[in-house]
């Protein structure tokens, strides 16, 4: 059941990423040059809707579909890792013009060369797994 | 029917697209009891392909298989949007962005991305290799080190006021600005 829900949510998200032009390298460069409100509007309004939803879910004590209380764990308080990892990710985001969601969306929408970026990203995660004990967190 | 197709093919403004993306947060919580995030799929793939090779990948990835179907869904949804609900017209960049792209020597602004950089035929160029393979590697390594990407940190994390997520977003922009203002002019012009 979870797999079916995941697939359906993914199809919706993929459609949105194309319709919103979030998968465009040009849009990402425009964002990092502060030359348009488009990307800021998308991320900002998404956070507003997300935060309101979390507030309502917590207030109402809503349960998930399987009847369990909703688990919302805090992110690990690894501030060095968040900044250092975030910076490395930011470099990659601006180079590929895509964060992970848009990378998959690019492959689906026909820019299949981005399959190589995904494979390289998976390799990057593997290398992180190998060296993480030696990195500051 | 044609009028519908034309209407459905228009790109969405931010105030439509952003709130709908925001709904991914409650939909994940209510339907899956999981937090919204895409980059974990890279880790699950490692855990599935090379189990027990490293402690970081020694966990029950099958409990998170929904996330792998989620990213499969992204590809399907993007295919459907591009094939049936797209005008194929150039992206309506701001005038300033168009001018900057031309300054960088990018003349073909007709697609989602510069065709002279991203394509199988362009892989013979060093800059393409660097941006696709190097960029992809950094996306993977960086997200896992930071503990999330744009969806997991910027949208999901900020939605429940996580300090690490705000710090990560500052990092995203540190890296992005370095490439945008340092590396790109160096590589392209």
* B10 part of a folded domain: no
* B169 part of a folded domain: yes
**pLDDT for residue B52:** 83
Q: What is the residue-averaged pLDDT of chain A? A: 96
Measured at the CA of B115, the angle between CA B113 and CA B119, to 5 degrees, comes to 100
CB contact under 8 A, A135 and B69: no
| B124/A contact by beta carbon, under 8 A | no
Quote the domain boundaries for residue B142: 123-189
* B43 part of a folded domain: no
Instruction: Note which residues in 16-55 of chain B have CB less than 8 A from chain A.
Output: 17-33, 35-36, 38-39, 41-43, 45-46, 50, 54-55
**pLDDT for residue B53:** 87
Give me B130's structure tokens.
Answer: 């660097």
**pLDDT for residue B90:** 87
| B59/A contact by beta carbon, under 8 A | no
* B155 part of a folded domain: yes
Q: How many angstroms separate the CA atoms of B167 and B158, rounded?
A: 10
Task: Name the strand (E) or helix (H) holding B102.
Answer: helix B95-103
In this structure, the number of other CB atoms found within 10 A of the CB of residue A126 comes to 23
* B63 part of a folded domain: no
Of A43, A2, A18, whose CA–CA distance to A104 is shortest?
A18
Contact status, residue B74 vs residue B67, Cβ threshold 8 Å: no
* B170 part of a folded domain: yes
Q: How many domains does chain B have?
A: 1
Of A49, A70, A48, whose CA–CA distance to A61 is shortest?
A70
E-only strand ranges, B36-180:
none
Contact status, residue A132 vs residue B177, Cβ threshold 8 Å: no
Task: Look up residue B12 and give its DSSP letter.
Answer: P
Most A CBs within 10 Å: which of B41, B111, B175, as the mutation test of the A interface? Answer: B175
What lies within 8 Å, CB to CB, of B105 at 6+ separation is B188, B189
* B109 part of a folded domain: no
**pLDDT for residue B1:** 64
Around A66, how many Cα atoms within 13 Å sit in the side-chain half-sphere?
12
Q: What integer is the mean pLDDT of A11-29?
A: 96
Orientation of helix B135-146 relative to helix B40-49, angle to 10°: 100
Q: What integer is the mean pLDDT of A17-28?
A: 96
pLDDT tens series, chain B, 189 aa: 678 888 888 999 999 999 999 999 999 999 999 999 999 999 999 999 998 889 999 999 999 999 999 999 999 999 999 999 888 888 999 999 999 999 999 999 999 999 999 999 999 999 999 999 999 999 999 999 999 999 999 999 999 999 999 999 999 999 999 999 999 999 997
CB contact under 8 A, B32 and A76: no
* B chain contacts of residue A26, beta-carbon cutoff 8 Å: 91, 93, 97, 101, 109, 112-114
* A chain contacts of residue B161, beta-carbon cutoff 8 Å: 51
* B161 part of a folded domain: yes
CB contact under 8 A, A129 and B31: no
Cα-Cα-Cα-Cα dihedral sign, residues B157, B160, B166, B169: positive
């Amino acid at each position: 059941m979870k797999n079916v829900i995941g697939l359906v949510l993914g199809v919706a998200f993929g459609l949105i990423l194309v319709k919103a032009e979030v998968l465009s390298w040009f849009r990402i460069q425009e964002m990092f040059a502060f030359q348009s409100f488009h990307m800021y509007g998308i991320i900002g309004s998404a956070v507003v809707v997300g935060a309101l939803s979390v507030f309502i879910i917590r207030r109402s004590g809503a349960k998930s579909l399987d009847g369990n209380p909703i688990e919302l764990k805090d992110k690990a308080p690894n501030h060095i890792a968040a900044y250092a990892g975030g910076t490395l990710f930011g470099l990659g985001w601006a180079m590929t013009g895509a964060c992970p969601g848009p990378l998959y969306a690019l492959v689906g929408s026909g820019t299949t060369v981005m399959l190589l970026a995904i494979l390289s990203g998976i390799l990057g995660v593997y290398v992180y797994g190998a060296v993480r004990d030696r990195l500051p967190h | 029917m044609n009028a519908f197709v034309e209407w459905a093919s228009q790109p969405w403004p931010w105030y439509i697209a952003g709130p709908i993306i925001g709904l991914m947060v409650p939909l994940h919580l209510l339907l899956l009891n999981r937090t919204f995030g895409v980059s974990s799929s890279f880790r699950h793939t490692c855990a599935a392909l090379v189990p027990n090779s490293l402690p970081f990948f020694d966990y029950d990835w099958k409990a998170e298989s929904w996330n792998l179907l989620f990213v499969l869904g992204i590809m399907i949804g993007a295919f459907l949007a591009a094939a049936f609900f797209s005008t194929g017209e150039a992206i309506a960049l701001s005038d300033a962005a168009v001018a900057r792209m031309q300054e960088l020597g990018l003349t073909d602004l007709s697609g989602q991305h510069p065709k002279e950089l991203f394509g199988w035929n362009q892989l013979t160029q060093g800059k393409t290799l660097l941006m696709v393979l190097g960029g992809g590697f950094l996306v993977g390594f960086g997200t896992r080190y930071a503990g999330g990407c744009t969806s997991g940190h910027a949208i999901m994390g900020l939605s429940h006021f996580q300090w690490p997520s705000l710090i990560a977003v500052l990092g995203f922009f540190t890296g992005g600005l370095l490439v945008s203002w340092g590396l790109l002019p160096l590589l392209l012009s």
